[in-house]
Structures are given as C-alpha cells and as structure tokens.
Chain A
Amino acid sequence: MPAHKLLGMALRYLLLIWIAMIFIFPIVFMVISSLKPDLQLLSDSSSLRAFLPVGDISPTNYLSAFDRAPILLFIFNSVLITGITIVFSLFLCSLAAFSFVFLSWRGQGVIFAIILATFIVPFETIAVPLLLIVNNLPWIGLEGIKNSWINSYHVQIIPFIADALTIFLFVQYFRDLPKDLIEASRIDGATWFQVYRRVIMPLSGPIIATAAILKFLMMYNNQLLWPIMVVQEESYRPVMLGLQYFFQLNTQWGEIMAYLTIITIPVLIFYLLLQKAFIASIASTGIKG
C-alpha cells in the first residue's frame, strides 16, 4: 500500500476512534464512578483519573444503593410491565395487521388510515386527558372492584399495548408474504385464526424480533412521565422513578452512579449480544417509510 493511502487510512481510523470516545466517555465514567466513594469521585473528576478504576475501588455504593431503595422490586416491576406489554402488543397488533392485509371488511381502509394518523400524535399531548380517563375507569381485580386505575400495573400496561408503529410494521411485512400460501390453507379448510397461527406467525420471526425490540426500547426507557402521573405507591413503581430515592436525603453521587449502572448495563449487554437485530429493527423503520 502506498504511503499516502496508508496515511489516509490512519487518519480515518483516528477520526473514527475520536468520535467513538465522545460516545463512550459518559458510559465509562458512570461505571467507574459507581465504584468510588464520593470524596474520591469528586476529586477524580478534575483529572483523567475519572475514567480509571484507581484508588479506593469497592462495591460499597451498590450495597448502600440496595439499602436505600427497593431496587429489585423496581426492576421486577419494569421487567413485568415491559414484558407483558410486549407480549400483548405483538399478539394484538399482528392480529390487527393480519386482518387489515388478508381479510376484507367494510371501513377497513378508513380505520387503517386513522390508526396510521395517530402516529403523529405525541404521547405527551394526550397524557393529561388520558390521566382523566384512567382515573375514572373501573377495574375488577383480585381485591375486588376498584373505581380507578391509578396505582396499578395495568394502568402502565394497557394504554401502551396497541400503537400505530407496531401495526404498521406488521402490515408492511405481511404484504410481502406470498398470498398463495394462505389460499392453499383456506382451501384445506383452516379458519382464519388457524391461518394466522399456523401459517403466518411461523413465517414472521424477523418482524416479531424487530417489533419486540422497538417496543422494549419505548417501554423500558421511557417510563417516566406516565408513572409520575399515575403511580404514587412504591410497590408499582418502575426503575426510572426509583431515581427519586437518591435525591431525598443525603445525596451520594456514587450511589446514583451505581443505580444508573444497575438499570443500564443489562440493556447494554442485551444490545451488544443482539446488536445486529437492534440496528436492523431501527433500520427497518426507515427502509419503507
């Protein structure tokens, strides 16, 4: 390779690495700081030691973070809420998409158009009236009848099950599936639901992964505004609300960093393992849009 090409190559890598550092330094800082006592954390942040695991390194912050807030409960809540929402969302949205693509019924086009239009309604603009609705909805649960959805798991799940993006993704995918498959099984006497379950779903692996990942990012990471409004009881709080506990009395930055690490690292590991699927799922929103 000639010298100037080699130099060009080196410069490109230098640029790539330099940019990578911009994206990675806060994350490294978070993890490293979570291992340091506060005094050292503060003094270290005036030098590059902020990024190095040097000095008094210990898991103390993690232990005291667990003492301070019911972290396992919050993680359980977040995982439960996110998990149930994803399962129901995949099922109901794919079912709806199936109906839009393969069945023909009156008003189909109009309803699909209305659903697509909700795509440009930001959740934040409907949060306040939605609060009024859930505040007055009855619920029959294990403890009997309640006349409000406030302070519960379902208030954090049900409003988020169906959304335009998930339905749209499934519709796009189903449209590209070969139609004769379906006709063949209909001739064999299968009901529409059997076609959905036995023919379509087994072919939908990639789009299910995509939709699940997008839903996961939307749910797990964004549980702030809505839970602030509808959950006052500790036992139903998701992880993002748990942060409040670290600001009440005796704020310790080391503990906050430990908490941030606890709620972030599993997602990052998940992402690193499945990064192709993560990136493909974002890209798929772009290809046909």
Chain B
Amino acid sequence: MAPLSIDESKLDGFLPGALGRWNGELYAVGLWDAACAIFARKSVLEANGIRIPTLDNPWNQEEFDAALVTLQGSGDFEYALDLGMAWTGEWYPYAFGPFLQSFGGDIINVETNMANDALNGDAGIAFGEFWQSLFARDLVPGTSQDGADRETGFIEGQYALQWNGNWAALPALDAFGDDMLFLPAPDFGTGPKIGAASWQFGISATSEHKDGASAFIEFAIQDKYLSAFSQGIGLIPPTAEASAMTPNYSAGGPLEVFYGLSNEQATLRAVTPAYVVAGKVFEKAMADIANGADVADTLDTAADEIDADIDQNSGYQ
C-alpha cells in the first residue's frame, strides 16, 4: 500500500473509523462507517422497569448485568441478550474487542506493541470472567448458536436484546417502528466503546497511476456522493454534512443515533498489521472462554501467541 496524496482539508469532519492511518500517513479512506448498538424494545425495557440508557449516561456494568438477569427472569425470552456468537470471523474482534477496551484492557497495547498485560492483565481477566459468566448463567446463546437465529431471533422475540450493527437496523425498525431503540454500549469502567470499521479505498504500492487514483478518491469523498452511497446501502455516512443529507441519518431520522455512536464511542481497532493474526487469536479465546475454558490460562495463551507472531515479524516495523 502507498500513502495517499489527498488534501487534508478535504478530510475535515471525517469519522475516525473511516480513515486508515499508519505511522502518521494516511493510507486509506472509507466511504462509510459502521457502528454497533444494543438493539432493544422500549416496551420490553419499560415493562421490566429497566432504565433506558443514553449516549451521555450509558449503563454501567452492574446495571447492564442486572438488566440481563431481569430480562432472563421474566421468562418471556429464550435468552436476554444475543451477542452474535454465530457470526464467526471478523465480528468477534470488531464487536467484542471494545468491551475489553471498556474494561481497560486491549488486544494489543499500541505503546508497547505487546498483547501480554493488555489482554491478560487484571482488566483483561475481569472482562474474561464477566464474559464467561454471561454464558455460564445462560443469559446469552453460546458458540453453537444457529446462524438463522442470529438473523431473526430478535425480531421474532426469541431474544430481548441484541448486540448488532447499523446494517441490521432497517429490518428491526420495520418490525417494531417507534418501539425500537438503539442503545449505546455499556460503560465497563473506562467509558463506553464500540468498534469502528469500514471497507476502505487504498492504493497499491505498485500502482502505476497513484495520482489518478488519489484524484478518484478525492472525488468520491465529496459529501453528496457519500450521502448517495449511504442511501444505497444503509451504512453510516462518514461526515456530519453527508449525514445531514441522508434522510435516515439526519437529525430526527430513525438511524441518527448511529452517527452519534460512531462519533462518540468509536475506538479504532489496534492499528497494526499484527491485527490479522491477533484478531483470529482473540476470536478463538472468546469462543473458548464462552465454552468454559479457564479464563486466565486462555488469555495467557492468546497473549503469548500474539506476541510470538509480532516477534516473528520483527515487530511488524
């Protein structure tokens, strides 16, 4: 990949998740952003006496936990919360990594370039124990969740809450209309966090037409095209202006909340090429802990494996 030669002023107001930076250079720009939220129904929360959290005042860990226990106890649902364990692959680090970060841990500590102590430190283990307890108490479906249930379980009332991305928001809105809520991620200690993500345009280092490609990207990131893109595929426009031009995401629009989520809570995943391996290792660790593996041992092994990979690549420098 080659750095982009794009006028920085054109990038003002871009959501952080839509820009790919590495070593201070801009390498990629995304035409949209994605954000996760807790999908919920107002009527269900009210009936169970659960406070509706806001961006400024999200649930803390106790509240979140109590809400799940209450919902599970109501007996109306198979599971209180659906985390999306059926979606193996990128989903795990993207959707669950931020929980770990909110606990104060991380997959890789960007400063030390190591997973040890970030992933398996006290914060990491606290997260792991909490994670395991969700499965042990049958509050969430486990790794053998059926992919079809992940798709339809919330809309069909099998699950009270669902941790999902804005790409799934429209069907949920269709099903529940005004009753539908998109809640911010809980604050597990160091503030609420969600993953930021987009597919991005970049230029191959071997491209013969770097300038032409840069020009194309500059052209495509004008607000009107970003807005049109979002209307076409339903994802979050990466600038405030484009957002205002897109009915679903403009002020008062049904998905406006996602722009706020993306703007306020989004945390970039570890910006390092080590992420390819680290993401896979993290996924396996999350699955194993969900299935009852010893938390500290599992996180130790995962951290060692990520560090060994970084070492083997001479730190990916």
Give A residues with C-beta under 8 Å from B: 38, 42, 247, 249-253
Q: Tell me which residues from 151 to 208 in chain B have a Cβ below 8 Å from any Cβ of chain A.
A: 151-152, 167
A247 to B87, CA, bound (A): 8
| Distance between B44 CB and nearest chain A CB, rounded to angstroms | 22
Q: Are the C-beta atoms of B147 and A247 separated by less than 8 Å?
A: yes
Q: Once bound together, how far apart are the Cα atoms of A38 and B86, in whole Å?
A: 17
16 contacts between A and B (CB under 8 A): A38-B148, A38-B152, A42-B148, A247-B147, A249-B151, A249-B167, A250-B151, A251-B86, A251-B146, A251-B147, A251-B148, A251-B150, A251-B151, A252-B148, A252-B151, A253-B148
- Complex Cα distance, B147 from A250, in Å, reads 8
Using Cβ atoms and an 8 Å threshold, which residues of chain B touch A42?
148
Q: Could you say which residues of chain A place their CB within 8 Å of the CB of B151?
A: 249-252
CA distance A262 to B6 in the complex (A): 48
Q: Which residues of A contact B152 (CB under 8 A)?
A: 38
Residues of chain A within 8 A (CB-CB) of B148 are 38, 42, 251-253
Contacts of A250 in B (CB 8 A): 151
Interface flags, B137-153, vs A, CB<8A=1, else 0: 00000000011101110
Chain A residues with CB under 8 A of B146: 251
Which residues in A have their C-beta under 8 angstroms from that of B86? 251
Query: 14 additional contacts, CB 8 Å, given A251-B146, A252-B151?
Result: A38-B148, A38-B152, A42-B148, A247-B147, A249-B151, A249-B167, A250-B151, A251-B86, A251-B147, A251-B148, A251-B150, A251-B151, A252-B148, A253-B148
Interface, chain B (partner A; CB < 8 A): 86, 146-148, 150-152, 167
**A150 to B: closest C-beta gap in Å:** 15
Does more than half of chain B's interface fall in helix, strand or loop, or is it mixed?
A: helix
Please, which residues of chain B bring their CB within 8 A of the CB of A253?
Answer: 148
CB distance from B304 to the nearest CB of A (A): 23
Distance between Cα atoms of A224 and B296 in the complex (Å)? 36
Complex formed: what's the CA distance from A68 to B83 in Å?
Answer: 25
- Shortest distance between the CB of B208 and any CB in chain A (Å): 13
A249-B165 Cα distance, complex, nearest whole Å: 12
CB distance from A42 to the nearest CB of B (A): 8
CB distance from B15 to the nearest CB of A (A): 22
A58 to B66, CA, bound (A): 46
| Nearest-neighbor residue (CB-CB) of A251 within chain B | B147
Separation in Å of the A154 CB from the closest CB of chain B? 22
* Distance of B96 from chain A, by nearest CB (Å): 19
CA distance A252 to B151 in the complex (A): 9
How far, in Å, is B140 (CB) from chain A's closest CB? 18
Min C-beta distance of A249 to chain B, whole Å: 8
Q: Which residues of B contact A249 (CB under 8 A)?
A: 151, 167
Q: Min CB distance, B197 to chain A, in Å?
A: 15
Nearest CB of B to A246, in Å: 9
What's the minimum C-beta distance from A276 to chain B, rounded to whole angstroms? Answer: 41
Question: Measured between alpha carbons, how far is A252 from B150 in the docked complex, in Å?
Answer: 11
Distance in angstroms from A44 CB to nearest chain B CB is: 14
* Interface core residue of B146, B147, B150, B151 (most chain A CB under 10 Å): B147
C-alpha gap A38/B148 in the complex (Å): 9
4 closest A-B pairs (Cβ-Cβ)?
A251-B147, A251-B148, A250-B151, A253-B148
Give the docked Cα–Cα distance between A281 and B151 (Å): 45
B156 to chain A, nearest CB (A): 9
Most buried by B among A247, A251, A252: A251
In the assembled complex, which residues on chain B have CB atoms less than 8 Å from the CB atom of A38?
A: 148, 152
Distance to closest chain B CB from A144 (angstroms): 13
Across the two chains, which residue of chain A brings its CB closest to B149? A251
CB distance from B229 to the nearest CB of A (A): 18
CB distance from A46 to the nearest CB of B (A): 14
Please measure, in the bound complex, the distance between the C-alpha atom of A250 and the C-alpha atom of B148, giving whole angstroms: 7
Docked CA distance A247–B151 (Å): 10
- A140 to chain B minimum Cβ distance, whole angstroms, is 19
**Would you give the shortest CB distance from B155 to chain A, in whole angstroms?**
11
In the assembled complex, the Cα of A250 lies from the Cα of B152 at a distance in Å of: 8
- CB contacts (< 8 Å) of B167 on chain A: these are 249
Nearest B-chain residue to A247, judged by Cβ? B147
Complex: A134 Cα to B216 Cα, angstroms: 33
> Bound complex: CA of A38 vs CA of B147, how far in Å?
12
Separation in Å of the A277 CB from the closest CB of chain B?
A: 39
Assembly CA distance A251 to B147 (angstroms): 6
B167 and chain A: residue at smallest CB distance: A249
How far does the alpha carbon of A273 sit from the alpha carbon of B167 in the complex, in Å? 47
Most buried by B among A250, A252, A253: A250
Closest to A38 in B: B148
Chain B nearest CB, measured from A279 CB (Å): 37
User: Of all chain B residues, which has the CB nearest A250?
Assistant: B151
Residues of B within 8 A of A252 (CB): 148, 151
Report the separation of the CA atoms of residues A247 and B89 in the bound assembly, to the nearest whole angstrom. 11
Q: How far is the CB of A244 from chain B (nearest CB, A)?
A: 10
Nearest-neighbour CB distance to chain B for A221, whole angstroms, equals 24
A37: min CB distance to chain B, Å:
12
Least CB separation from A42: chain B residue: B148
Q: What distance in Å separates the Cβ of B134 from its nearest Cβ neighbour in chain A?
A: 23
Q: Report Cα–Cα, A151/B80, bound state, in Å.
A: 44
Smallest CB–CB gap between B263 and chain A, Å? Answer: 25
How many angstroms between the C-alpha atoms of A250 and B150 in the bound complex?
8
B212–chain A nearest beta-carbon distance, Å: 20
* B299–chain A nearest beta-carbon distance, Å: 28
- Measured between alpha carbons, how far is A64 from B150 in the docked complex, in Å? 19
Q: Give chain A nearest CB distance to B1 CB in angstroms.
A: 16
**Chain B residues within an 8 Å CB radius of A251:** 86, 146-148, 150-151
